[in-house]
Structure formats: C-alpha cells, structure tokens
C-alpha cells in the first residue's frame, strides 16, 4: 500500500461535494455540507488590502478593517459584541497585502444572523470618532512594542531588503509616522472606494445545504454594488538580489539576537512550490526542526530555536532561516546554516527523509480538515490560488510523486547564497 492509499480521496472535500456559485454582483460562494455537527464556520476575503494604501498613509487598509466592527449603521460597538455573545458566535476581520479577510462561526440556525452582521460591517461601518482614536492609540502602542522586538525587527528589515521596490517590502500595518496621519475621513473614503462585491469570496462549511447558504448570502449581500470599486493592481515579479546583503539592527538592552536569513522562494501557484515545501520541511521543520534544528540547536547547542519557513504568496515568496541566539554565537550559527544550505543544494535528500515528510504531509491533511473551520479555510485557499476543486482529493498522490531530484533542482533554483539576505537584530554580536 502506498502512502496515498492510506487516505481515502472520498473522505476529502472535492468537486462532488464542494458547491461553487458566483452571484450576479460578483460574489463567489463555496459551500461544503457537514450534517454531523450542528455548527457552521465561514471565512472569506475581499480585495481591499494594503496594496491599495497610499505610501504616505501605509496601514490604511488594516486600520479600516480594524474599524469595521466598531459600529455600524444598525448597531453600536457594544451591541455587535453582545449579539455575538448571546448566540455563542464570533466574527473577526484582518488585513494583508492583497485582501482583507474575515472569519466566523455559529450554530447553523444562527448563520442568517451572522451573515447579516457580516453584511452590516462590510457595507455600513460608521467608524465612530472615539473608536478611531482608540484604534490609533492601540496601533501606536503596537509599533512601540515592535521596535523593541528583535524577531519582529529582523523580519521587517529582511522583507524591506529582499522585496525592495515591491509592495511586499512594506509592513501591512504601516509605520508609526504613516498611521499617525490617518484620520476618520481617510477610513470612510477608503471604504467607499475599495469595498464592494467584486472579488469577494465566502466559504461556508457545516450543517447547511448549498441552497440555504446561497439564499442567505443573496439576502444579505445580493444587492450590494459599488461601480467605483477598482480592480486589484497586477504586481510585478520580484527580481533576486545581485549580491548578498548583511545587516545588523542594534536594539539596546536585549540579551538575545534574532536572526533571519534567506532568499526569494516560489509563488504559491508555481509548479515547484510543493517540492520546495517538502524540501523546507526536511531542511527546517520536521521532527526537532529538521536538519537546521539538528545541526544548530541539538548537536551544537548554539541556538534557543532554529527552523526554516517557506512563505508563498501571489507575486513572490521567501525561503527563510531563523534562529534565536546568544550574541557571541551569531557568526557560528550563520556559518552552520550556510554550510547546511551548501549540502542541501548539492546532494539529494535521502529517500527516508522524503518518505517521512511525505507521510507527515499526507497524514496531516485529514487532521487539518477535522473541523468545519479547517474545511472552510482550506476551500477558501483553493479559490484564492485557483488550485482547482479537486486539489484536496489529488493532494496525496501529488505529494507522493515528488522525487529527491525535484527537491534538489528546486533548492538549487532558489537557495543561491549570492542572493541571500542576512539580518540580525538585538545587542551587538560582540556583547555577552
């Protein structure tokens, strides 16, 4: 029996039971029915992310998203939360580069009420002045905390350099000087221009039928229109650096240095993404954080933590190595990581390493879909990246077909030391 045969495709959401409907006003609705639970979970996104922010008001999209539940034309801030608490339900919003996202859960019988609340927040937020001031103050506090966070500052600087000249170089929540200038009128104008039905995707999973959901969404959002809603801008590809970059961010009073190094990675939709993902798992995720964790943390004892991550988005991705180290160990940790990169791009992974990672990926898929929320998020990402409704059904066989040679070729394409950015943040490396 192969690994993939241990997971029945018929137990996974697929084209036969994921219902996809596009409403006349452009809203896409995805429904998966699960009558074994009385609950329902939903998630979605709308193309109104920070890619639309004016540079001088960076953070506006996130500020706007944070204000959606602070009061609507029908309910006050307190009423919004009281109504959710009474029903044992929840709703939340967040922002990223491309989209603002939302998610919620409730009993199936309360879904109409939650969709009505969702519609009110999306369509009729009032942005009460006192709530806007409160959100701005909270943002200022978070920026002050970020400035003292060695991991956050290393990551922020890494993105600024790796994606220089591209929207991915900028933090979605902005900077202290940009958010300080944002006024209530800016939120209102951003909402009026960028919020609309075109490009909105809603994924629902739980004890509902497809027709029930479509009827309820039509009732709540079917008449929404915004003829001025702009299309999402097409982002250019990110070009790799022509030479390595090294930088240290001095943050006094700290005892640990946080390190981030790496290079561009594949887009989420690139054909080699899954090979890179499996390779990343072997390199710095599996077991006690893969090869990197074994060499840097377990064998050498030079880091408090050490791992890798692959971050694939629409226009670009990053392949990152991170560690938290004592200042005197920084150079040695960088040396060990780069040595391991050298091994990884010159020798194929072993068949045992690959099989272990494949088993982990394939066995983890059903676990990630055990809840309605997990299914809703998975289906939403299928739509976000246009992976096809058969993606989950075919996932196991797709993962099982990846070879050591594919992983090696992919690693050689992206893990080029001459293109690496190396950022550390904390006390000076010479400090002990």
**Cβ within 8 Å of residue 144, ≥6 positions away:** 176
Give the separation between CA 310 and CA 297, rounded to whole angstroms.
20
Give the separation between CA 45 and CA 99, rounded to whole angstroms.
6
Say if CB 318 and CB 265 are below 8 A apart.
yes
pLDDT of amino acid 222: 97
Please count the other Cβ atoms lying within 10 Å of the Cβ belonging to residue 148: 12
pLDDT of amino acid 2: 53
- Computed over every residue of the chain, the mean pLDDT equals 94
- State how beta strands 201-206 and 90-95 pair: unpaired
Start-to-end CA distance of the chain, whole Å, equals 54
pLDDT of amino acid 230: 95
pLDDT of amino acid 430: 67
Residue 344: which H helix or E strand, with range?
helix 330-344
Share of the chain above pLDDT 90, in %: 90
The secondary structure of 148-173 as a DSSP string is T-HHHHHHHHHHHHHTTTSGGGS-TT
Give how far the C-alpha of residue 246 lies from the chain's centroid of Cα atoms, to the nearest Å: 26
For the cut 70, the answer to whether the pLDDT of residue 432 exceeds it is no
Nearest to 422 by CA among 259, 238, 250: 259
Domains of the chain: 4-221 (3.30.830.10), 245-426 (3.30.830.10)
Confidence of residue 299 (pLDDT cuts 50, 70, 90): confident
pLDDT of amino acid 11: 80
Give how far the C-alpha of residue 364 lies from the chain's centroid of Cα atoms, to the nearest Å: 19
Classify residue 54 as left (phi > 0), alpha (psi -120 to 50) or beta: beta
**SS3 call for 324:** strand
The structure tokens listed for 105 are 């859960």
Query: What is the arithmetic mean of pLDDT over 132-160?
Result: 97
pLDDT of amino acid 270: 96
Nearest to 44 by CA among 105, 131, 113, 103: 103
User: What would the pLDDT profile of 368-415 be if each residue is shown by its tens digit?
Assistant: 999 999 999 999 999 999 999 999 999 999 999 999 999 999 999 999
Cα distances from 195 to residues 108, 116, 181, 221, 288, in angstroms, run: 27, 16, 22, 12, 44
Query: What is the arithmetic mean of pLDDT over 298-323?
Result: 92
User: What would the pLDDT profile of 21-66 be if each residue is shown by its tens digit?
Assistant: 999 999 999 999 999 989 999 999 999 999 999 999 999 999 999 9
Give the separation between CA 418 and CA 410, rounded to whole angstroms.
16
Confidence of residue 102 (pLDDT cuts 50, 70, 90): very high
Query: What is the arithmetic mean of pLDDT over 324-350?
Result: 95
pLDDT of amino acid 301: 86
For the cut 50, the answer to whether the pLDDT of residue 221 exceeds it is yes
pLDDT of amino acid 1: 43
User: What would the pLDDT profile of 229-256 be if each residue is shown by its tens digit?
Assistant: 999 898 988 999 999 999 999 999 999 9
**SS3 call for 282:** helix
pLDDT of amino acid 428: 85
3-state helix, strand, coil in the chain (%, to 5): 50, 20, 35
Confidence of residue 84 (pLDDT cuts 50, 70, 90): very high
- State pTM to two decimals: 0.93
Please count the other Cβ atoms lying within 10 Å of the Cβ belonging to residue 233: 11
């Amino acid at each position: 029996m192969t690994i993939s045969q241990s997971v029945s495709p018929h137990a996974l959401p697929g084209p036969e039971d994921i219902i996809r409907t596009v409403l006349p006003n452009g809203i896409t609705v995805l429904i998966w029915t699960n009558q074994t639970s009385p609950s329902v979970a939903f998630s979605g996104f709308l193309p109104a992310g920070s890619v639309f922010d004016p540079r001088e008001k960076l953070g506006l999209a996130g500020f706007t998203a944070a204000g959606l539940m602070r009061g609507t034309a029908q309910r006050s801030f307190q009423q919004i939360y009281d109504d959710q608490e009474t029903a044992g339900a929840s709703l939340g919003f967040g922002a990223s580069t491309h989209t603002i996202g939302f998610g919620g859960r409730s009993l199936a019988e309360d879904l109409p009420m939650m969709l009505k609340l969702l519609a009110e927040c999306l369509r009729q937020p009032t942005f009460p002045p006192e709530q806007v001031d409160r959100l701005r103050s909270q943002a200022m506090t978070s920026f002050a905390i970020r400035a003292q966070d060695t991991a956050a500052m290393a990551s922020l600087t890494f993105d600024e350099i790796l994606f220089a000249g591209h929207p991915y170089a900028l933090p979605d929540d902005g900077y202290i000087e940009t958010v300080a200038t944002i006024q209530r009128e800016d939120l209102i104008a951003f909402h009026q221009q960028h919020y609309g039905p075109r490009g909105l995707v809603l994924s629902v999973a739980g004890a509902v039928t497809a027709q029930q959901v479509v009827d309820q969404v039509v009732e709540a959002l079917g008449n929404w229109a915004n003829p001025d809603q702009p299309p999402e801008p097409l982002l250019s590809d990110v070009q790799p650096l022509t030479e390595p970059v090294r930088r240290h961010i001095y943050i006094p009073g700290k005892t640990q240095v946080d390190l981030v190094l790496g290079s561009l990675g594949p887009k989420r939709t690139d054909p080699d993404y899954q090979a890179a993902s499996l390779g990343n798992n072997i390199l710095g995720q599996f077991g006690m954080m893969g090869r990197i964790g074994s060499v840097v943390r377990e064998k050498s004892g030079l880091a408090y933590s050490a791992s890798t991550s692959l971050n694939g988005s629409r226009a670009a991705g990053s392949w990152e190595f991170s560690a938290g180290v004592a200042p005197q160990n920084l150079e040695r940790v960088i040396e060990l990581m780069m040595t391991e990169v050298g091994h990884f791009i010159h020798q194929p992974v072993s068949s045992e390493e690959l099989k272990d990672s494949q088993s982990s990926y394939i066995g983890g898929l059903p676990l990630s879909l055990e809840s309605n929320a997990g299914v809703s998020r998975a289906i939403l990402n299928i739509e976000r990246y246009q992976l096809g409704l058969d993606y989950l059904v075919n996932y196991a066989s797709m993962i099982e077909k990846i070879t050591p040679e594919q992983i090696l070729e992919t690693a050689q394409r992206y893990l080029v030391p001459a293109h690496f950015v190396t950022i550390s943040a904390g006390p000076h490396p010479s400090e002990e």
